[in-house]
Amino acid sequence: MHPDSQPATHPGTRPDTHPDTHFPRPVIDLGDVTLRRFQAEADQGEFLRAVEEARDHLLPWMPWAADRSPSRTIEFLDSRHQLWSEGKDFTYAIALNGSIVGSCGLFRRDDTPPDGREIGYWLHPAATGRGVATRAARALAAEAFRLPGVEWVEIVHDPANHASGAIPARLGFTVRCRRPAARIAPAETGEEQIWRLTRSQAPRAHATPPDGDTTTHDRA
């Protein structure tokens, strides 16, 4: 276990009063999958390769993939430390057997109420179909419920992205609503589907076994 990490807490329990519970764990060990905070300089080369190799896979659903130049990717990595320290956006590298295969995050939008968080994620196509995104989303939900005052988490995706919708479905999230959204990626429909998991539902999500996944969703 990473020396800065803490023992896992059941996602249905209230967070303790230790100061570190205001932030999620910097390293989450899931066996062959590890979620860890980005190290901007150390991770640049590997992350740039993962983004470039995944670009065609991501373009239909993720508008940022169309403009993720090396300079933009480096800028993204450089901003992670400050956003984490401010408690605004907790972004992790997803590593499979030690290699970066994507990223995921726990964050608040500008209009997200204080008691809510959102989960986002994406994967290199070579890492799909192994339950990696499902395991990452489950772990982030557990981390969210360690944070003081957090009562629910959401996953948002285009309703036509069925593979992305399968992840919250298998984790015990329920569909909250659909809302209009700008069409800014080629496959988008002009709507977003919002799935929500509440603190009281979290024990069931924790018990759900992971299944394979084929694609993912992310706002980054």
The Cα–Cα gap between 107 and 153 comes to: 9
Residue 19, pLDDT above cutoff 60: no
Q: Is the pLDDT of residue 112 over 50?
A: yes
pLDDT mean over 55-66: 91
**Residue 116 and residue 129 in contact, taking contact as beta carbons nearer than 8 Å:** no
The closest alpha carbon to 208, from 137, 150, 118, belongs to: 137
Predicted confidence band of residue 118 (pLDDT cuts 50, 70, 90): very high
Contact status, residue 133 vs residue 145, Cβ threshold 8 Å: no
As a whole number, mean pLDDT of residues 103-126 equals: 94
pTM of whole model > 0.95?
no
Give the residue-averaged pLDDT of 95-110. Answer: 96
Contact 57, 44 (CB under 8 A): no
Please report which confidence band the pLDDT of residue 205 belongs to, taking 50, 70 and 90 as the band edges.
low
Report whether pLDDT(220) > 50. Answer: no
Could you tell me the CA-to-CA distances from 56 to 31, 52, 53, 134, 175 in Å, in that order?
A: 29, 8, 8, 22, 29
